[in-house]
Amino acid sequence: MKRVVRAVPVALAAAAVSLVGLVGCSSGAGAGAGAGATKATGNGAGAQASAEAFARTYQEAVNDQDWQQVCRMRTDRYRHGTVQACVAANTESTPSATPSPTESEEPLRRADGSIVPPKPKPSASGPDRAETGPVKAAGAVPVPAIGEHPAGTGVGVQYTVTWPSSTTTDKKALRLVQQGGRWLVDQSEDVFPSDEAHGDPVRDALSRS
């Protein structure tokens, strides 16, 4: 009987130790998984918000014709060379009030011999430019590589374009890639109604190489 009495506490103690160890392991594993899930979710949401903010800033710079800013936000491949070359290729020159002789080989004359003044070319600041509304960006999605474009994140942007007689809405899809820890734009495509009809307009638009 003495042996039985002594064995019971030992068995209970061993069972208690085993139970404590099991609970401790389960709690630790659960806590680790929860922390990892939260971190991953935070990073994903943060990356999406970052991409959408970058896309909005980029399109605003395009609409404002701030080519220094635009070209700095593009990949080398997309800007086709240096930032300076990109700016020069996109900058429109404002026509002079009096056209130089090279702008017109022979001036037009009326029947009475008077010269018809030439029409100035459209300029970035002229009346031919429409007013654009605020840029909205949303729908960041992963997009696969296609042609020369690397895999990245696609973001849809849209804004209104107001002319003297009408207002339309422009929609574009931007392909963003990360280089050196920052976003850069590698592709910009118009989003057409046919893209929207498929239910995945950003990916469809960016599938055009």
Residue 162, pLDDT score: 95
CA distance 123 to 136: 26
> How confident is the model at residue 67, as a pLDDT?
97
- The upper half-sphere exposure of residue 20, i.e. CA atoms within 13 Å in the direction of its Cβ, equals 6
pLDDT digits (tens, 9 = 90+) for 70-116: 999 999 999 999 999 999 999 875 444 444 444 445 666 655 566 65
| DSSP output for 123-143 | -TTSTTSPEE---EEEEEEEE
pLDDT at 18: 42
CB 174 within 8 Å of CB 157 = yes
Q: What is the pTM (predicted TM-score) of this model? A: 0.64
Q: Which residue has the higher pLDDT, 16 or 50?
A: 50
Mean residue pLDDT of the chain comes to: 76
